[in-house]
Amino acid sequence: MLLVDSGNAANRGDVLGVMYESMALMGYDALGVGIMEAGLAEDAAKAAQEKGLPLVGTVGPKVGEAAPGRISKQLGDLTVGVVSAGWTAEPEQPEYRGAVQGLLEAARAESDCVVLLSQLGPEADTKLLSSEGLVGLADIVVSASDALRPLTPAIVGPTVLLPGVRKGRELGVLEVALEGDTVRCHGEVITLAKDLPEDPRIAALVDDYYAQRQEQGGGERPAAIETAEGPELPDLFTADEQKLIRARGYLTADECGRCHQEQLDQWRTTQHSHALGTLIAAARVVPECLVCHSEANRRGLPYDAEGADQYGVDCAACHGAGLFHASMEGARDTIVRRPAEALCRRCHTAERDTGWALDLRLPKVVH
């Protein structure tokens, strides 16, 4: 078994220490550096070394030097190489592409299997791995973005693209079997139920962390929902709203609308904003239908979870969760600007939408 994570462990030094120690206890084999800890690059590398966690230096802004660019791991007879691609708004940029390609080639030369931990998101991953010189360099890509979370792995040429899952709430599992010359894969996302037992060693670490914080005047240990990971949000969200948003993991349409009223108004005129209502009207509020008709359900929450969307195909389905985007007051490179046709077709399948043509459908959607 190879246990990996693409990064985004924490955005504060002290929390990062607790996270890395917990992940080391869980036996992680490799960990990338995400946009959250990018500013902590040196600290992250140091903390990882202290805790014995194999951090993979990310190709991308600020982090390149902090840790080795690739690592190698022996799994029985197999040598597995792990490379990490960090967030950038312009993955096509030759310098970035070249750096990723160089690391992948080096890993390829010395490994039976190459795993790429990516912060780019499935759309950019697909583009990158279909581009000249990069085809086939990675066998498996572990994607970190959730712009539209596919439930099953995608296949891009000879590469398997694994969906990103929500940290601490889900586990993505890919089983790979070799039958003669044929490789067979089976992927699934397991939701971690709240009633799973705690690991006592990790529970003790977290207790210690809060005890120390309280000693230093950091206040009471917050209730479970307040500890939900996620960035600080701007003041236009009340403290209670912020807690809900972090626990939920994405912004609902109304929440995006606080800063994008025009787009919200336009979107409300589309059927996307009534997709849940459609199922209610048809008395078919069941998982097999919710998977495309409810954003909350798609993200592994009950469709009527507290504060979840009441609409259906929310902004987040096309643009991504938006937590970092909102926390950075709308920073442009933290959101999907223009969702690609492939994303529409995850729901507008040949079966569900027999008359699909992008130029017919898109004008109704753009705002």
List contacts with ligand HEC (CB under 6 A).
Answer: 148, 234, 251, 253, 256-260, 263-264, 267, 270-272, 274-275, 278-279, 282, 284, 288-289, 291-293, 313, 315-319, 322, 325-326, 329-330, 332, 335, 337-339, 343-344, 346-349, 352-353, 361-362, 364-367
Tell the smallest beta-carbon distance from residue 285 to ligand HEC (Å): 9
Cα(241)–Cα(216) distance, rounded to whole angstroms?
27
Tell the smallest beta-carbon distance from residue 270 to ligand HEC (Å): 4
Which residue of the chain is nearest ligand HEC when measured via CB? Answer: 330
Q: Which is nearer to ligand HEC, 206 or 328 (CB)?
A: 328
Tell the smallest beta-carbon distance from residue 123 to ligand HEC (Å): 12
Q: Which is nearer to ligand HEC, 6 or 294 (CB)?
A: 294
Q: Which is nearer to ligand HEC, 46 or 243 (CB)?
A: 243
Cα(48)–Cα(68) distance, rounded to whole angstroms?
12
Q: Which is nearer to ligand HEC, 124 or 326 (CB)?
A: 326
Residues 6+ apart with CB under 8 A from 222: none
Tell the smallest beta-carbon distance from residue 162 to ligand HEC (Å): 19
Helix ranges (DSSP H) in the chain: 13-26, 41-51, 94-110, 122-130, 200-215, 239-248, 253-257, 261-268, 275-281, 287-293, 295-298, 315-319, 323-327, 341-347, 358-365
Residue 153, both tokens: 């792995």
Cα(182)–Cα(88) distance, rounded to whole angstroms?
35
* Cα four-point dihedral sign 118, 164, 31, 335: positive
Q: Which is nearer to ligand HEC, 215 or 359 (CB)?
A: 359
Is 299 within 8 Å of 249 (Cβ atoms)? yes
β-strands 78-85, 70-75: how paired? antiparallel
Cα(178)–Cα(301) distance, rounded to whole angstroms?
35
Tell the smallest beta-carbon distance from residue 259 to ligand HEC (Å): 3
Tell the smallest beta-carbon distance from residue 153 to ligand HEC (Å): 17
Tell the smallest beta-carbon distance from residue 367 to ligand HEC (Å): 5
- Of 73, 34, 37, 76, the C-alpha closest to 54 is 73
Q: Which is nearer to ligand HEC, 194 or 338 (CB)?
A: 338
Q: Which is nearer to ligand HEC, 194 or 337 (CB)?
A: 337
251 — phi, psi (to 5°)?
-95, 135
